[in-house]
Structure 1
Amino acid sequence: MQIIENSTVYDAIIVGSGAGGGMATKVLADAGLKVAVVEAGPFFDPADQEQRTQLRWPWESERRGASTRYRPFGDFDAAYGGWDIEGEPYTHKDGTKFDWFRSHMLGGRTNHWGRISLRFGPVDFKHKDVDGYGDNWPIGYDDVKPYYDQVDKLIGVFGTNEGLPNDPDGFFLPPPKPRLHELFYIKGARKTGIPVYPSRMSMLTKRINQERGVCFYCGQCARACQVYADFSSGTCLIFPAQKSRGQVDLFVNCVVREVTTDQEGRATGVSYINKEDRKEYKLKGKVVVLGASACSTARILMNSKSSQHPNGLGNSSDHVGKYLHDSTGADRAAFIPDLMNRKVSYNEDGVGGMHVYSPWWGDNSKLDFPRGYHLEIWGGMGMPNYGFGFNVNDFNKFFGTKVGGYGDILRSDAKKYYGAVVGVSARGESIARKDNYCEIDPSVVDEWGIPVLRFHYKWSDLERNQARHAHDTFEEILTNMGGELLGEKPGKERDYGLHTPGRIIHEVGTTRMGDDPKTSVTNKFQQLHDVDNVFIVDAGPFVSQADKNCTWTILALSWRTSDYIVDQLKKQNI
């Protein structure tokens, strides 16, 4: 098959336009570099009226907002993709499970994420020193702190400085006030001795520049914001980069097959399949920056085989794809009688997510698991859609009577219970293990002819014990709130309610950083040990996940790596 070559030689080719790829685009373009951004999905702008889903009524959807295969979080969710994409399969090994979420579009998953924007703390980078599990990062909090500070100021994050030792303070915008269901949570959590603080989330509660608006509390951040008040990579990083002194060329609907190399084994660019004409193209660049997501980047590297790199690019250590791990997740909800029959003549939507949260409070040295979790709260009176608010079967079981129906009865019950269900979710840290991994399936390819990933992943008793502890915590808090628990408490046979690996969509670790090329893929600047002009700016280089969401650390590390790239290009070292 003929491969069509582009004659332009870019200073940097960036694969992926999510958090890591978007930040690299912004920093490199601001430095005056000529940049190509290759994205597997279409162009997306939430302000475009044809693409906008924010502030649309449920009846504007044929499914009344219900989820679909390609919008599993609801028909109005901003993310295209999901865990099951036609023509783009993945497989499993030894009966294990891993659900891989992909969002192919400009900005990737940042268009719909919860925007919980937490820094990793000093302990998170050196956790092996505390409990002996896993490995320490080759860098520490002080190496990343200046970049966390810059990300806070560039993008905007609300919160409060609390002086917590492992949940570092930052540069915060004013947080919104707790809503009624969150006031109930505060009371229940504090009765148990669990601290509660204002959330730290990347929505603008105050104007920071002229290009972005301020949150007007519609509660629909998952639909992506048409005034750019919440953080998405496209609106906050790539669009501004296109106005900078550099050059940014977007290649959308383009699936990267491999990183191309010369006879010396150095990267020369990438080859990709254009989804629209189904032809293969090549781009040439001095530097290749991979930010396609931890698993997608690992797949590209392992598929980039040559005589110089027979095991895949950057994979002389055989560690590409290894140490895959996702956040742990568990949830529980309760019916709160005191929240019944609420007036609906006021707007209590707030931001698209929680106004308060509980960072990890426990002493793991006294527990049967080594790493903690934070608590997220959900509920309130957001816009109803299909299946909103309560599970009819749970209510019928609880009350021993029939709830719901048709017409006036349905409307009456909906109003009666609207806003009376509150849930708590735990998002925790799992231990990175070499035997949790993704690899190339030897016999399966996607519709573009590219070999797909095969996953091998198992939870250990450490994660199960953490989930059991979380469910004990849920029950205590929700009962303290005056709640009546919904559903059954999961036991050992259900892994104590642990979500399937991959379901929290925080996968990290497949191209881990380290000082030893024999046991890691990149150095501390996320530069391949084997090839000095290839860098990774997604969550692949993470040595461990921490009990925080990973996006703010992806952004900070991508900025740090991009500064290093600019410096090395100026010195002609790469």
Structure 2
Amino acid sequence: MSFQIKPSSEPYDVIIVGSGAGGGMASKILSEAGLAVAVIEAGGDFDPAKEEDRTQMRYPWESPRRGSGTRIRPFGDFDAAIGGWDIEGEPYTRGKDTNFDWFRSRMVGGRTNHWGRISLRFGPNDFKRASIDGLGHDWPIGYDDLKPYYDKVDKFIGVFGSKEGIYNEPDGFFLPPPKPRLHELFMMKGAKKASIPVIPSRLSILTKPVNKERGVCFFCAQCNRACQAYADFSSGTCLLHPAMKKGKVDLYTNSMVRKVTTDDSGKATGVSFISKLDMKEYKLKARVVVLGASACESARIMLNSKSKTHPDGIGNSSGMVGRYLHDSTGADRMGILPDLIDRERYNEDGVGGMHVYTPWWLDNKKLDFARGYHIEYWGGMGMPSYGVGFSMDTMRKYIKDEFGSPSPNGGYGEGLKKDIRRIQGSTLGMSGRGESIPQYSNYCEIDSNVVDKYGIPVLKFHYQWTDHEIKQAKHMHDTFEEILTNAGAVLLGNKPGPESKYGLATPGRIIHEVGTTRMGNDPATSVLNSNCQAHDCGNLFVVDAGPFVSQADKNPTWTILALSWRTSDYIVSELKKKNI
């Protein structure tokens, strides 16, 4: 059942805040255990199979902006993501010398509607990095604790890939991977010359059926628009909506949670939220509260949940809520391959993401930075959209010998179209996504001087990259140039230098922020225990990326899902034992 304003007067067994990967998985597991569940989502409902929500298989000219992004859809007018780094009426602030951009998703399914579907397990080393390099802290759990849940996630959701036997890139239960496309074959050629491994990607896109409710990928390369056949993973289509059909799950949309409410003993009693429809405050009660609103949003809710028992915010007696915030590193480079100019036209769309990638392959003990990165490859003959011709003069500059004389009226009209057709499919590139070092000094806190349009105090960010991340970005670019040059590409743009931190992306731009409510065995230095349960409040849990002690060189979603499943099992067990 879906609600917008009318809250139930009866208490729920569990309230879940957020409907992304963590909240969606919790809704499935907890409702299947027979619990009455409320899911509170700050955005509206979304189903890519419904005509009013569908953006898949639409031409650019069907958009008044020809597919260009907007404030609320920054990745493109047809991208599934509704939210962004700059949402009207929902500000955030930054401390001195901080440049942090915070992406919020405002829709059922959260960020899982737009992502690369890169579904990588953390490896054994990723849970014990402090023991390896002395930086940061080890997790209180290890790979063996999560492996059974990774296995369950693989089998239930589906992920394609190949068994490679790489120790810190653990194999799973894989569906058949798609074959490399032409631009990826050139990348593989360039990487091989540099002795850099390239293996099939591991994406949560169905190349074979896994159940009757979901279809199989038909290779339109538009996963970022969300799949009307439910062939790719998003939380709304694969977790929350099915849970609502099968179990006792009520969905409250357009509801901004203000705080977790508590009783005189400090126990969580539910949440209060502001309805976006009438701007009034409502309250829901429950035996257990589960936060899955995203690492920073969950921290914000906890910090705003002050009471006599929790004067600094619920779960924050250690002062660690908001601390050790960190995002993945990121850098990109592209080139144009003269061999692919005037290439034959055919459908090579494939899946909406990379067919191959490079896992971290080096020993950091032999390098001048501590953590690794993986490489994502991109290119091909995707449909041109808004802005595709803007860089044509730049391309001519770099490939004038191979490209030949430009069209007489190049830059607009018929000549521009001709040039675009010749060049389409000849550009290719890569992105590095790496692990940063968690820092106590990187954090978010409540800005007591600023509230959003709902009257809720906002977050203030403090963040600086360290030399490890900057040197890692330099290594990325050295590697990118070697692979592109080996592949026969002409490099586009100048190689970034130290003045730009070697092209290192602004913190928050990779949208992998983790660590604000981290787990640990010591309540003095952590927020949650190893079951993602608050040290200070036994019936409060966090199931997003906040509990991460460290980020790996992998995307966090598969680990969020596995942790949420594990935490949900624990909640069910503790409720049966009447411990919470």
The verdict on a shared fold, with TM-score over 0.5 as the criterion, is: yes
The one of 517, 525, 530 equivalent to 1:519 is 525
2: CA distance between counterparts of 1:93 and 1:547?
A: 27
SS at match of 1:272: strand
The one of 438, 441, 444 equivalent to 1:438 is 444
Match of residue 230 from structure 1: 232
SS at match of 1:410: helix
TM-score by length of 1: 0.98
Query: Please, which moves more after superposition, 394-403 or 447-456?
Result: 394-403
Deviation at 1:427, TM superposition (A): 0.1
Match of residue 353 from structure 2: 353
SS at match of 2:11: strand
Match of residue 205 from structure 2: 203
Are the equivalent residues in 1 in contact too, given 2:341–2:423 (CA < 8 A)? yes
SS at match of 1:243: helix
Match of residue 278 from structure 2: 277
SS at match of 1:474: helix
The one of 68, 73, 76 equivalent to 2:75 is 73
Are the equivalent residues in 1 in contact too, given 2:399–2:490 (CA < 8 A)? no
1: CA distance between counterparts of 2:470 and 2:389?
A: 29
Match of residue 127 from structure 2: 125
Are the equivalent residues in 1 in contact too, given 2:272–2:281 (CA < 8 A)? yes
Structure 2: which amino acid aligns with 1:376?
Answer: E
The one of 462, 471, 491 equivalent to 1:485 is 491
2: CA distance between counterparts of 1:427 and 1:333?
A: 15
1: CA distance between counterparts of 2:6 and 2:41?
A: 18
The one of 431, 455, 464 equivalent to 2:461 is 455
SS at match of 2:144: helix
Structure 2: which amino acid aligns with 1:171?
Answer: F
Match of residue 376 from structure 2: 376
Are the equivalent residues in 2 in contact too, given 1:6–1:281 (CA < 8 A)? no
The one of 552, 568, 571 equivalent to 2:558 is 552
Match of residue 156 from structure 1: 158
SS at match of 2:258: strand
1: CA distance between counterparts of 2:499 and 2:175?
A: 44
Are the equivalent residues in 2 in contact too, given 1:327–1:506 (CA < 8 A)? yes
1: CA distance between counterparts of 2:63 and 2:234?
A: 24
2: CA distance between counterparts of 1:132 and 1:399?
A: 47
Structure 1: which amino acid aligns with 2:285?
Answer: K
SS at match of 2:326: coil
Does 2:192 match 1:194? no
Are the equivalent residues in 2 in contact too, given 1:509–1:539 (CA < 8 A)? yes
Match of residue 304 from structure 1: 305
Deviations 1:54-99 (A, max 9, x none): 0000000111111111111111000101000010000000121100
2: CA distance between counterparts of 1:178 and 1:387?
A: 27
Runs of 4+ residues deviating >6 angstroms: none
Q: What is the Cα-based RMSD across aligned positions, in Å? A: 1.2
1: CA distance between counterparts of 2:398 and 2:511?
A: 32
Deviation at 1:393, TM superposition (A): 4.1
The one of 545, 558, 564 equivalent to 1:539 is 545
Match of residue 83 from structure 1: 85
Structure 2: which amino acid aligns with 1:397?
Answer: K
Are the equivalent residues in 2 in contact too, given 1:389–1:421 (CA < 8 A)? no
Written as runs of structure 1 = structure 2, the 5 A alignment for 1:322-471 is 322-344=323-345, 346-388=346-388, 391-399=391-399, 404-471=410-477
SS at match of 1:398: helix
Deviation at 1:242, TM superposition (A): 1.4
Match of residue 475 from structure 1: 481
2: CA distance between counterparts of 1:134 and 1:407?
A: 56
Are the equivalent residues in 2 in contact too, given 1:389–1:418 (CA < 8 A)? no
SS at match of 2:430: strand
Question: How many equivalent pairs are there?
Answer: 570
Match of residue 17 from structure 2: 15
Are the equivalent residues in 1 in contact too, given 2:37–2:250 (CA < 8 A)? yes
Are the equivalent residues in 2 in contact too, given 1:158–1:203 (CA < 8 A)? yes
2: CA distance between counterparts of 1:143 and 1:383?
A: 43
Are the equivalent residues in 2 in contact too, given 1:329–1:425 (CA < 8 A)? yes
The one of 494, 504, 519 equivalent to 2:500 is 494
SS at match of 2:104: coil
Structure 2: which amino acid aligns with 1:211?
Answer: E
Match of residue 107 from structure 1: 109
TM-score by length of 2: 0.97
Match of residue 578 from structure 2: 572
Deviation at 1:243, TM superposition (A): 2.5
SS at match of 1:7: coil
Deviations 1:163-191 (A, max 9, x none): 00100000000000000000000100011
Deviations 1:273-298 (A, max 9, x none): 00001110000000000000000000
2: CA distance between counterparts of 1:491 and 1:561?
A: 44
Query: Please, which moves more after superposition, 296-305 or 68-77?
Result: 68-77
Q: 1:381 to 1:4 in 2, by over 3 A?
A: closer
1: CA distance between counterparts of 2:158 and 2:390?
A: 34
Match of residue 43 from structure 1: 45
SS at match of 1:173: coil
2: CA distance between counterparts of 1:210 and 1:12?
A: 29
1: CA distance between counterparts of 2:196 and 2:475?
A: 13
The one of 171, 183, 189 equivalent to 1:169 is 171
Are the equivalent residues in 1 in contact too, given 2:338–2:399 (CA < 8 A)? no
Are the equivalent residues in 2 in contact too, given 1:513–1:524 (CA < 8 A)? yes
